[in-house]
Amino acid sequence: MNKITNHMPTAQLQALDAAHHMHPFSTQNDFATRGARVITSARGVFLRDSEGQEILDAMAGLWCVNVGYGREELVEAAARQMRELPYYNTFFMTTHIPAIALAAKLAELAPGDLNHVFFAGSGSEANDTNIRMVRTYWAEKGQPERNVIIARWNGYHGSSMGSGSLGGMVGIHSQGGLPIPDILHIGQPHWWAEGGEMSPEEFGLMRARELEEKILEVGPERVGAFIAEPVQGAGGVIIPPDSYWPEIQRIVDKYGILLIADEVICGFGRTGNWFGSQTLDIRPHIMTIAKGLSSGYQPIGGSIVCDEVAGVLAACEFNHGYTYSGHPVAAAVALENLRILEEERIVETVHDETAPYLKQKFESLADHPMVGEARIVGMMGSIALTPDKAARAKFKADAGTVGYITRERCFANNLIMRHVYDRMIVSPPLVISKSEIDLLIQRAWQSLDEAMAQVKAEGLW
């Protein structure tokens, strides 16, 4: 076989891909019939494909390339670390400089007394850690019956057995025997889709109080933790009503259960502060991190843990860990990524300048006839597609059909936006400039126009 390079014709690359590469969250047969778009390189906020097209990546990969593509410092950090020490573990009374430095740096950045880091290779792995850590914590405290972890429908925490169980995605639960026992779910604070006649504030309170109802139903002595994303990401960028989080915080405090904030998307500047917990004003005992931790340049995740939980665990042997926990190259790259975020004041620039600019432009999409609401916090936002704004109505098609059509129009217009059912999402690299934001909005508007014409032509309106 010829060496596979980006000089090969696209069709040949697509055929090889369809034949041998099994894609995540995809219908594999689609790749044989349609062929994947082959991404070959990237700079800043733009991807380039095998046909030489430049695509504005308004999703920062999978919500992760916070500092943008093409940062040489990260390449250098990886190369330096590979020369020095490409791999070593931290299991058996050993450690290494990148893991020490990254853990110490995260303890400095994280709020409150979140001073301890357990590393993983991804967000899913970190949430699996959290399940075992929380249950071990309570067992060590003499309360092994506190096994129940409450999470939310339409939350996303990963796709492994544990993290997929924490998530509330029915598509994930329907395959492979999830959820695992003692993971329970409550409703999400998704006013647009589920709020009915209630005001957003009333609805937010009602959804938060489902946590208290669930705790009382199970028995407070059995509940170990509640996990949630400060702002749901993969569920459709659901920004909760203002009433929601204060009530959740009140309830977890009242019953003394642990709060796990899944910061995999919200962390590292995405919401305009270092962590979503700061933006939403919550006090977690554990934060799940990944994605923006290394801006996606290396696979790394982890759990940042408070003094109390880490203190209790410190006395026992926690029989848990991954070959790549604290991988030195990934840790060195993450550390360099944090240096860039800090020294270039990227989080502050998002907070003070670019996110307010994006908010103003993004919210103007609500003037489009097919857009019901446009909501954004920091650099994560979504629009709801609807044929009738006032009624928050659905299309004459299965949920997601119009979202898919719109995503395909965006793709054809060299803009990557994702759809979750009939919501369109943006989460661009945090370094996006104002003129790039203008381009994003212009392409989004054009794609909405084209999608609306298609939806009407197909009788789906």
Residues of this chain that bind ligand PMP (CB under 6 A)? 62, 122-124, 127, 156-158, 229, 233-234, 262, 264-265, 288, 290, 301
CA dist list (Å): 308 to 92, 137, 224, 311: 24, 10, 14, 5
CB of 233 to ligand PMP, least distance (A): 5
* Residue least distant from ligand PMP (Cβ): 123
Q: Which residues contact 342 (CB under 8 A, 6 or more apart)?
A: none
Rounded distance, CA 273 to CA 456, Å? 41
User: In the complex, what is the shortest distance from the CB of residue 122 to ligand PMP, in angstroms, rounded to a whole number?
Assistant: 3
Minimum gap (Å) between residue 293 Cβ and ligand PMP = 10
**Considering beta carbons, is residue 63 or 203 the nearer one to ligand PMP?**
63
Nearer to ligand PMP, 135 or 152 (CB): 152
CB of 63 to ligand PMP, least distance (A): 6
How far apart, in Å, are the Cα atoms of 428 and each of 63, 376, 423, 436, 439? Answer: 7, 12, 16, 10, 12
Task: Please say which residue, 81 or 288, places its beta carbon nearer to ligand PMP.
Answer: 288
Compute the distance between CA of residue 394 and CA of residue 384 in angstroms, rounded to an integer. Answer: 10
Q: Specify the residue, 157 or 214, whose C-beta has the smaller distance to ligand PMP.
A: 157
CB 77 within 8 A of CB 307: no
Nearest CB to ligand PMP, comparing residues 324 and 395: 324
Least separation in angstroms between CB 425 and ligand PMP: 11
Q: 3-state DSSP call for residue 274? A: coil
Q: How far is the CB of 439 from ligand PMP (least distance, A)?
A: 25
Half-sphere exposure of 50 (CA within 13 A, CB side): 16
- Identify the residue whose tokens are 């920062």: 60
Where does 221-327 have alpha helices with state H?
A: 244-255, 276-279, 307-314
Residue 87 backbone phi and psi in degrees, to 5: -155, 135
Of 98 and 301, nearer to ligand PMP (C-beta) is 301
Among residues 264 and 334, whose Cβ is nearest to ligand PMP?
Answer: 264
For the chain, first and last CA: distance in Å? 49
Minimum CB distance to ligand PMP, residue 15 (Å):
28
